[in-house]
Amino acid sequence: MAFSRIGYGQVEPNQLSAQKTGQIYASLPLDSEVKVLQNGEFMYYDYVSGKVSADDSTGVAEPMLVFNEIKLYEPFWRTSYKDFAMIRVGDNYVTSGLATADYGDGATTVGEVPSVTYGPQGQQTTLIGHVEDPYRMDGIAPRLFKTNVGDIYTTNMVKELTGNNVYAVGELLVPKKNTNTKTLQLEKFTSETLGAKPEGMAWAVVKVYTMPDGQDGLKLQRVQ
C-alpha cells in the first residue's frame, strides 16, 4: 500500500516540548526561493544568513519543524487543515491554493520596496523603506518549532511512497532537502553499511496511523 497525501502537509502535536519551553521562532523572513511552505516540513532558522532556509550556513545547526498557525479565510468547504500552507504571492503570502496572482495589496510585485511621501504639494519628499514602521520586516516569516529528543507528533508531511513501498514501525526518518520545493522533508534513512546510524536528527515511526481527516499518517518520536 502506497503512502500518499491529499492537499498540504499537516501536523498534529502530541508532545512537542517547544510548547512549554518557548523554543518557537518566527522573526526571520523565508528564503525567497521557497514558493510554498507546508506544515510538517523542516527548515533552518539561520540567523547568520538572516533567513529561514533549507541550507545551513554554519554547517552545524539542526533543522526546526515548520508549524505555522492555521488560518483559513475561504468559504467553509475549504477550511480543512489539508488546505493550509504558506504560499508566496509576490512579496506577500496567502494561506490557500484558492489564492490567485491578483490577490491585491501589491502582492503581485516581487521586490516591491515600501515608501512614504510627505510634505506640501511641489515640495514633497519620498523616503524609501519602512520609515513609518521601522520595526517591520520585508518578506514573510514562518513559525518554526525547536524539537528535542522524545518529542512526539503525528504528520503526513513525509516523502510519499508508491507501489508496494510502505512505512513500518521502527523505521527511522531523517530530513532531506527536496530540490523542487527548496525545503527539508522527512524520508526513510537507508544505509548500505550494516549498523550505520544517521547523523544528526532522526525520527522513529512509532505508529502507522491516520490524520484527523482520515488520510494516511505517521506518529513519530524524535530519537536522535
Residue 142 forms part of a structural domain? yes
Full residue range of the structural domain in which residue 66 is found: 11-101+138-222
Greater confidence, 85 or 186? Answer: 186
Residues 6+ apart with CB under 8 A from 71: 84, 95
Residue with the three cell numbers 519620498? 126
- For residues 167 and 155, the answer to whether their CB atoms sit within 8 Å is no
- Where would I find the H helices in the chain? 18-21
Domain tally, the chain: 1
Beta bridge partners of 162: none
Residues in the chain: 224
- For residues 168 and 205, the answer to whether their CB atoms sit within 8 Å is yes
Greater confidence, 54 or 125? Answer: 54
DSSP character for 31?
Answer: P
Residue 61 forms part of a structural domain? yes
What is the arithmetic mean of pLDDT over 17-25? Answer: 97
Residue 21 forms part of a structural domain? yes
DSSP character for 20?
Answer: H
Residue 126 forms part of a structural domain? no
Predicted TM-score of the model (pTM): 0.83
Q: Give the type of residue at 167.
A: Y
Greater confidence, 104 or 144? Answer: 144
Residue 19 forms part of a structural domain? yes
Tens of pLDDT, residue by residue over 31-86, are 989 999 999 999 999 999 999 999 999 999 999 999 999 887 766 555 688 888 89
Residue 124 forms part of a structural domain? no
Q: What's the rounded Cα separation, in Å, for the pair 160 and 48?
A: 32
Q: Give the type of residue at 59.
A: G
Residue with the three cell numbers 539561520? 46
Distance from the first to the final alpha carbon of the chain: 28
Greater confidence, 21 or 106? Answer: 21
> How is the beta sheet containing 92-94 ordered, strand by strand?
36-37, 86-89, 92-94
Residue 192 forms part of a structural domain? yes
Residue 202 forms part of a structural domain? yes
Q: Give the type of residue at 201.
A: M
